[in-house]
Amino acid sequence: MDTHDSKATQLTRAQAYELSEDVPTNRSTRPTIGDVINARLGRRDMMRGALAVSAMAAIGGAATMGTSRHAYAQAGSSFDFEELTAGVDADHHVASGYTANVLIRWGDPVVPGAPDFAPAAQTADAQEMQFGYNNDYLGYLPLPAGGNSADHGLLVVNHEYTNEELMFPGLGRQDRDAEFAGMTAELVGVEMAAHGLSVVEVTRDDSGNWTYNPASTYNRRISPRSTEITLSGPVAGNPRVQTSADPSGTTVIGTINNCAGGLTPWGTVLTAEENFHGYFKGEFPEDSPEFRNHERYGVPGGWYAWGDYEERFDVGREINEPNRFGWMVEVNPYDPNSTPIKRTAMGRAKHEGAGLVVNGDGHVVAYMGDDQRFDYIYKFVSNGTFDPSAGTDNGALLDDGTLYVARFNEDGTVDWLPLVFGQGPLTEANGFTSQADVLIETRIAADLLGATPMDRPEDIDVHPTNGRIYAMLTNNTRREANDLNAANPRPENAGGHIIEIVERDSDYTATQSDWSILVLAGDPGAPEVGAMWNDATTENGWFIAPDNCAIDGQGRLWVTTDGNDYERSGRTDGVWSMETDGDLRGTGKLFYRVPVGAEMCGPMFTPDDTSLFVAVQHPADGGDEWPGFGRTSVYEDPSTRWPDFDDTMPPRPSVVVITRDGGGPIASS
Ligand code: FEO
Ligand code: CA
Ligand code: CA
């Protein structure tokens, strides 16, 4: 999510995020540029034939690698499709030979009995029965449970955040200095109801068309207005999560800013609470016991008016409420009456998502990014082991384990540093009295351990067998030349990069791993960018701002982006395939692109790779800078009315399903 900041007014959310303040972090050991160059030149996994050039490019300034970028020689490609042309317009586009259909849109009925979408007269109660806003993570879970069906399942969808100027008539871009003029209790209620998650039953018919069933009893909305969620793990019941509404500190109403997520091996979904700080307003004294904690997480962010109408989002009234957000939340979509669970042992962060795997010895491992400039990559290793016969009871594995944070060393190794109370600096001398304190203040504990500050860690996905993990680092324009490290080697990193971590002998529980950079994203034709791609990458195949990713059933990596625009790349966000092996390693190839202003989220394949679900988030958010779109994009005059192209309908964040014409696995011959 690229979002706005309380100080930023009249900006798109993406623009405002760039202006937002970084929170304090401990970056005490900063290598010199010379250290970084040496580390880069010493890396053993550099791309073939371009080692020195790439390393210099990585430092920012040298020309891009090779001269045959336009040769398009992609013999041996793992991906069999004809590349789409990058660009921008009001519509979405998919590679030739494929069809992309809208499956469900903001406002469509979800819960049986939901009213039809009435965009000019929305109510909170109606929205709470309808599909929410800004779909992000998508999880496909086959029906029946435990099966492998690729034509019948449940789709679990995160609704990350809301865009008032595109959702509501008459508001314009919100001016936070004017205290959210025009927002009302009802509109705040609509916004809250448009957050959370949706679960819908989906089916593919004999002719290959996907539909969702609005009458399904599986269908469910989870929202921060009403859904009770249990706190579990070491933080449950701790005084620091107790509030006037919940003196026991065990039950939270709702989940917010659910960005990406992950599937568990036992058929549930983990949904990630990301920018929770943005929902809090108010003030609290510097001598508050939560001052250090809230400051490190940027609380209160003041992005929304919720605190004016809901006391718990006013941090001056409920100092502990922010501690009840920022967790990984487990949802069982097969039981629409189940209570979601916040798994506190997995740490508190601006969680982007989670990539889960069962290790060879049965321990469950989850890799997670904390998406903020200069924050960290984590992994959680369960103490217990997966029991295939235990079903959803395996969820308790996520309450008991060790949380580690990554330190990327210049010699190409990663050390995973345990966040365990009483070990190393995580003691009373540094303000921790229990493991609960370590978990509530995960970031501060990681600072003290000397974790490597990253360029906004987003989605992380795990190859299920070969020990390889792919981490998306979306960008960090605040990184300065005196602040580089080997894993984040570019100053003013506007393009982002992708890191590959390799677990030796495919032991995902290991405390030391190896790493390399797969690509340094950005325009390979602009030397000042310092991009690093395989020479086979075409003019359409490069991108900036990798955000989400998926590994398909054939073990191939796909990347989606958040941040391509007119200024930075001259193309919209989209879905790119990404080679990870052989001579083409580091080659991108464009498969699908979104309408103007949108971001690409949620890539999720069916188990047989014949369908790809993607989430088109915030269509028409900005786009003003593109030739032909030169106006402020608001409800009355959006930069696109995708997907309906109906003058009575605003643009609508939507889930799209992509299939191959005539059937068959995507990008396969
Ligand atoms: Fe919600 Fe980090 O993107
Ligand atoms: Ca994003
Ligand atoms: Ca994201």
Q: Which residue is associated with the tokens 């008539």?
A: 169
Tell me, using a 6 A CB cutoff, whether residue 236 lines ligand 1. no
DSSP strand pairing (98-105 vs 599-605)? unpaired
**Ligand 1 centroid – CA 350 distance (Å):** 8
Q: What is the pLDDT of residue 129?
A: 98
- For the Cβ of 370 lying below 6 angstroms from any atom of ligand 1, the answer is no
Q: How far is the CA of 477 from the centre of ligand 3 (A)?
A: 17
Tokens 């809230």 correspond to what residue? 294
Q: Assess whether the C-beta atom of 352 lies below 6 angstroms from ligand 1.
A: yes
Q: Which residues of 163-184 are buried (b: 16+ CB within 10 A; e: fewer)?
A: bbbbbbeebebbebeeebeebe
pLDDT, residue 74, reads: 66
Distance 269 CA to ligand 3 centre (A): 16
For strands 363-369 and 377-385, give the pairing: antiparallel
Count of CB atoms situated within 10 Å of the CB of 14: 20
Bond from prior residue into 489 cis (ω within 30 degrees of 0): no
Residue 532 CA to ligand 1 center (angstroms) comes to 24
Beta carbon of 371 within 6 Å of any ligand 1 atom: yes
363-369, strands of its sheet edge to edge: 355-358, 363-369, 377-385, 401-408, 413-418, 512-520, 497-502, 468-473, 457-462
Ligand 3 is an ion; its neighbours by CB within 5 Å are 259, 458, 547
Q: What is the pLDDT of residue 27?
A: 53
CA distances from 405 to 329, 450, 616 (A): 19, 9, 31
Closest protein CA for atom 3 of ligand 1: 1
Distance 308 CA to ligand 1 centre (A): 25
The answer to whether the CB of 582 falls within 8 A of the CB of 562 is no
Ligand nearest to the CA of 274: 1
User: Using CA atoms, how far apart are residues 377 and 293, in angstroms rounded to an integer?
Assistant: 19
pLDDT in the model for residue 12: 59
Quick one: which ligand is closest to 137's CA? Answer: 3
Ligand 1 pocket residue status of 458, Cβ below 6 Å: yes
Do the strands 228-232 and 341-343 form a parallel or antiparallel pair, or are they unpaired?
A: parallel
470 CA distance to ligand 3 middle (Å)? 14
- Ligand number, closest to the Cα atom of 14: 2
Q: Whose CA is nearest to atom 1 of ligand 1?
A: 1
Strand-pairing partners, residue 473, are 457, 497
- Region label for 237, one of left (φ > 0), alpha (ψ between -120 and 50) or beta (otherwise): left
What average pLDDT is seen over the chain?
Answer: 91
CA of 59 to the centre of ligand 1 (A): 26
Give the C-alpha distances (Å, rounded to integers) separating 319 from 227, 229, 239: 21, 19, 11
Closest ligand 1 atom to 458 CA: 2
Q: Which residues of the chain are under the pLDDT cut of 70?
A: 1-19, 26-74, 174-179
**Ligand 3 centroid distance, CA of 436 (Å):** 27
Atom of ligand 1 nearest to the CA of 160: 1
Q: What is the pLDDT of residue 333?
A: 98
**Phi, psi angle pair for 81, to nearest 5°:** -155, 160
- Written as six digits, the tokens of 549 are 């990713």
pTM exceeds 0.85 for this model: yes
Residue 631 has a pLDDT of 75
